[in-house]
Amino acid sequence: MKKLSFELRITVFYLLLGGLWIAFSDTFFNTIIDDEDVLVVVQMVKGWIYVLVTGVLFYIILRRHIMKLRQAEQKAIESDRLKSAFLANISHEVRTPMNGILGFLDMLKDPDLSTETKRDYIELLERSGYRLITVMTDILDISAIQSETVNPEKRTTDVIQIFEESADFYKSDLETKGLKLNFIKPYGDSPLLIETDEKLLKKIICKLLGNSIKFSDKGEIDLGYEINAGLLTIYVRDNGIGIQKEKLEAIFNKFEQADTRLSSPYQGAGLGLSIAKAYVHILGGDIWAESEPGRGSSFYVSFPVP
């Protein structure tokens, strides 16, 4: 339909331009020129001018159209590449915990296992189960976002409480990696109340915090907020591996990761930041990142507050 519409526009444009050129130019030249020989020459020159002008215009129009088609083709190719990488990562992220679960269940059948060993295996089973649930939850979240079925339910929410709940959720991961989490609260432990969807805000903070934990092998992570000029800005800062400047925007895109290699030491489905971005926009906020390779990353989320 778009191709037909483009062809019709070109045809109508050509007919209108030609008709107007002939009608007005003939009337004009016939009025000011009496010599037939001169008029013939003028008509010939006029024809060549028309051919030249229409040729240039058609070239410009067709070139712009072809450039749009090429850009669309490149986007389609890039989309296919990202989806392929995404599917490969998803397959890996689902198989890995499943293999762990099945493997440890099989080993637990050994009647000679000590109580301590069984406890260790059960703990590893729990980790694999939580990892699998996280992947499946991310897939369901992306599906809901793409189908536009996420309906925020705003109510009075304490941001400080969400900070604490998010920290508790990742307590085990923080201890395992030896990371220290700092709360930056300019107004102390006093409640920070805003009107928002509590579940979505918690998911946003958890995605950002989980991302910082994942890419930090040592040091500290700051989770805090600032209020300035009618904006509440929540931030997560880490001392992790950092992100190249040219990839700062791309990391929030669907099916995009800073490193899509399966051999990357930082495995994951690559959905967390895109989910966070979508939820931030649903809540009427903005999200961005600042980073430098080797010096950590800072993620910011801002919402207007009265």
pLDDT digits (tens, 9 = 90+) for 47-81: 787 778 778 877 888 888 889 889 988 888 877 77
Q: What is the 3-state secondary structure of 95-139?
A: HHHHHHHHHHHHHCCCCCCCHHHHHHHHHHHHHHHHHHHHHHHHH
Third-level CATH fold of 85-146: Helix Hairpins (1.10.287)
3: pLDDT confidence band, cut at 50, 70 and 90?
A: low
- What average pLDDT is seen over the chain? 84
User: How many helices and strands, by DSSP H and E, does the chain display?
Assistant: 7, 7
The answer to whether the CB of 196 falls within 8 A of the CB of 205 is: no
156 has a pLDDT exceeding 80: yes
- Angstrom distance (rounded) from CA 62 to CA 96: 51
294: pLDDT confidence band, cut at 50, 70 and 90?
A: confident
pLDDT at 165: 95
Q: What are phi and psi of 240, to 5 degrees?
A: -80, -155
Single out the residue of 236, 243, 221, 241 nearest to residue 294, CA to CA.
Answer: 241
163 has a pLDDT exceeding 90: yes
Q: Give domain limits for the chain.
A: 2-74, 85-146, 155-304
Report field, pTM of the whole predicted structure over 0.75: no
pLDDT at 84: 73
Third-level CATH fold of 155-304: Heat Shock Protein 90 (3.30.565)
Single out the residue of 61, 54, 59 nearest to residue 6, CA to CA.
Answer: 61
Amino acid at 210: G
Single out the residue of 250, 261, 253 nearest to residue 291, CA to CA.
Answer: 250
User: Which position has the token pair 């590893």?
Assistant: 124
> What percentage of residues in the chain have a pLDDT greater than 90?
36
- Angstrom distance (rounded) from CA 276 to CA 153: 17
Single out the residue of 176, 90, 169 nearest to residue 132, CA to CA.
Answer: 90
pLDDT at 6: 64
**3-state SS, residue 87:** helix
